[in-house]
Amino acid sequence: MNGNVVEVDDIVIKFAGDSGDGMQLSGTQFSETSAFDGNDLSTFPDYPSEIRAPQGTLAGVSGFQVHIGHKEIKTPGDLADVLIALNPAALKANMKWVKPGAIIIIDIDNFDNKHYKKAGYIEDPIGDGSLNGYNVVKAPITYLSKASIRDLGLDSKSAERTKNQFALGILYWLFNKDLKFGGNFLDQKFKSKPILADANKRVLKAGYDYAETIEALKTTYLINPIKERKGRFRSITGNIALAWGLIAAAERAGLELFIGSYPITPASEILQELSKRKHLGVKAFQAEDEIAGINAAIGASFAGSFAVTTTSGPGLALKSEAIGLAVITELPIVIVDVQRGGPATGLPTKPEQGDLLQALYGRNGESPCVVLAASSPANCFHFAYMAGKIALEHMVPVILLSDGYLANGSELWELPGIQDMPKIKPPLVKDNDSEYKPYKRNKKTHVRYWALPGQEGLRHRIGGLEKEDITGIVSNGPLNHERMVKIREEKVQYVANDISELEVIGEESGELLVVGWGGTYGALVSAVKGLQEEGKSISLAQFNYIKPLPKNTEKVFSKFRKILICEMNLGQFAIYLRSQLPQFQFLQYNKIQGLPFMISELKEKVIQILEG
C-alpha cells in the first residue's frame, strides 16, 4: 500500500495519445488488472477513422476510457478523473472530457513548439493558465522510458513505443495495483518476442518507481473489490461475447457453425474470433465481398449448418437482396449488424443507432425478419445465442443489432454453463418422411420443416420465385402470393410468444417512462436510477426484442403519463413505435455525435420534462 491512501467508490481514467502510442493496449491492460482485483468495469475505446493520420494532429488522437469501481458499473463514465495525454493534440482533444481538478499526466518531452503547432495551439497550454486548477504531472516519459531500457539494444522507434507502459506504471502506483498483473499481460502479449516483453515490463516498473518519488502525487487511491459478486468472471468485449454466443448456440443445437463474411469496421473482430475456433467445429469463410458472404451463408443454411454473416451498415445495405432470398426460402440465418455512423462510409469507428429502419424495412417486397438488439458488451453473448435459437427454431432470418460502442467496449461477464442455456430444437425432418413437403408447416407456429440436401426420400426445391403453399412449386397465383406473404409475417409475429416480456426498471406506473433500445442501456439505467434515488417518478423500459415487440408493450406504456424515447439517431425507434402503437404520444431525445449518451445530459433532459 502506497503513502496516503484514500478509498474511492469508482474512478474514470482516459488514456490519450497518437494512434501508434498504444493507448488501446494500456487501457486494456489496466482494465484486466482491475478485473483481477475484483473491480467492476466498463470501457470505451475511441479510435480515429483515419488509418494513418499525421502524428501529433487532432485527427490522429486515439483514446481509451475505463471506468472502474467497487460498485456496479454500467458506463465508461461521463468525465475523467485522470487524463493521460502523451502529446498536445491528446490534451487539446480531451480537455472537455475531464472533471475540474482532475489529475492530468503529460509527456513533457512532446510539449514543444513543434507539437503545439501540429495540435493547433496558438499559445503554450502549460503556461497560458488553461490548466490552472488541475493537478498536472509533467513527466519526461519518453526520455525515462528509453533510458530504462538503453542496455537492451532496441532501435529508437521500438524503445519509444514502450512509453505507454511508463504512463501506465504511474497509474499502477496511483491506484495501488499489483505490477505482476501488468507483467503477466505483457508476457502473454509478447510471448513470441521475449525481448519486447522484458523491455515493456522494465518501463512499467520505471513508471511505477517514478510516481513513488515525485512530489506531485502525494495521495494514492484504492478501489476495493465487489464483495457481493461471486462466480467466474472475465473482462470481455461485445464482439468476442457475440462470437462466443453464436458458438454456444451451434453447440446447443447440435449443428456446425458457418460464418460467411467480409471484413468491415467495427464488425471484423467477430469473423476473426470465429476463424480461430476450428477446433470447435466452426467453418469460417472470408468472402470477396458482402454479397458473396451472405450468399455463402444461405447455401450453408440450406445444407444444414447454423449460418451467420456479420457486417456494419453499408454491408447490410449490400446484403439486402440476399436477406430477401432467406426470407422467401424460409431458411434460418443470423445477420449481425454492428452499427456505425453513416450514411455511406460515414464515421467508420464511431457508434450510432442509424440502421434500425434498414433492419426492419430495408428490402424489396414484404420481407419480414426478426430484429433483436444487444444492450451491453456482456449480453451480446446472450442475444447472439437467442438470435440463433429464434432463427433455427422458427426458420427465419434474424437481424441482430450491435454497435461500435458495444463491439469494442468491455465489461465483466460471468461465464455461463452451456447446460444452463435454453435448449435449441431445429425442426429437422427424418429420412423418408412420406408426409414432407417444402412448405408444409406447423399449424400453430407456421414454421416450415427443414430437410437437408441428400436426405433419403426428401428431394425438394426452394428458391427466390414465389412458391405454392405446401407443395413448393413455382406459383404466380395472386391468392397464393397473398397467403404466403401473410404467413411469413405471421410466423415472425408468433416469435413474440417465445421471447421475454418487457421489464420495467422502477415503479410499474408513474409520471415518466424512459424508453431505449440496444446499446443506450448503460447510460439510461444509470441516469434513471440516479433520479429515482432523488425521489423522481421515473422508470425505464429498455428494448432488446424489436420485431416483434414484447407482448406486454402496450400494457407497460399505458401506465405512464409521459413516454420519452432516447436513441442515437433522429428518432427511428420512435417512428416504428408510432406505427405499431399509434394511440400513444412519444417525446424524443436524440443524439447523433458518434458518442454514447452521457448520464448528465440524460438527467438534464429528464428533469426538464418532469418540471415542464
pLDDT of residue 487: 98
| Alpha-carbon radius of gyration of the chain | 26
pLDDT of residue 2: 60
Q: Which domains does the chain have, with CATH numbers?
A: 4-222 (3.40.920.10), 235-420 (3.40.50.970), 510-611 (3.40.50.920)
Per residue in 270-284, pLDDT tens?
999 999 999 999 999
pLDDT of residue 557: 98
pLDDT beyond 90 at 417: no
Rounded percentage of the chain residues whose pLDDT exceeds 90: 92
What secondary structure letter does DSSP report for 143? H
What is the percentage of the chain residues whose pLDDT exceeds 70? 99
pTM of the model: 0.95
Nearest to 223 by CA among 83, 69, 13, 73: 69
Q: Residue 51 pLDDT > 80, yes or no?
A: no
Q: How confident is the model at residue 226 (pLDDT cuts 50, 70, 90)?
A: confident
What average pLDDT does the segment 510-537 reach? Answer: 97
What is the DSSP annotation of 467-515?
Answer: B-TBT--B---HHHHHHHHHHHHHHHHHGGGGSPPPP-BS-SSEEEEEE
Distances (CA, A) of 349 to 266, 312, 405, 559, 595: 7, 11, 9, 39, 10
Q: Give the model confidence (pLDDT) of 543-576 as tens digits.
A: 999 999 999 999 999 999 999 999 999 999 999 9
Q: Rounded CA gap, 506 and 499, in Å?
A: 21
State pLDDT tens for residues 27-46.
Answer: 999 999 999 999 999 999 99
Render pLDDT for 131-175 as a digit per residue (tens, 0 to 9).
Answer: 999 999 999 999 999 999 999 999 999 999 999 999 999 999 999
Asked if residue 373 lies in contact with residue 588, where contact means CB atoms within 8 angstroms, the answer is no
pLDDT of residue 216 exceeding 90: no
- The pLDDT confidence band at residue 49, using thresholds 50, 70 and 90, is confident
| pLDDT tens-digit series, residues 314-357 | 999 999 999 999 999 999 999 999 999 999 999 999 999 999 99
Q: Are the C-beta atoms of residues 447 and 427 closer than 8 Å to each other?
A: yes
pLDDT at 402 over 90: yes
**Alpha carbon 469 to chain centroid, angstroms:** 40
The mean pLDDT of the chain is 95
pLDDT of residue 323: 98
- Is residue 1 very low, low, confident or very high in pLDDT (cuts 50, 70, 90)? low
pLDDT above 80 (res 190) = yes
Q: Is the pLDDT of residue 506 over 80?
A: yes
Residue written as cell 481514467? 13
Q: What is the pLDDT of residue 3?
A: 62
- The residue among 19 and 571 whose pLDDT is bigger is 571
CB proximity list for 105: less than 8 A, separation 6 or greater:
82, 83, 84, 85, 137, 139, 167, 170
Mean pLDDT computed over 99-119: 95
Q: Which residues contact 117 (CB under 8 A, 6 or more apart)?
A: none
Asked if pLDDT for residue 612 goes beyond 90, the answer is no
239 has pLDDT over 80: yes
Cα–Cα distance, 482 to 477 (Å, whole number): 9
Q: Region 424-434: what's the mean pLDDT?
A: 96
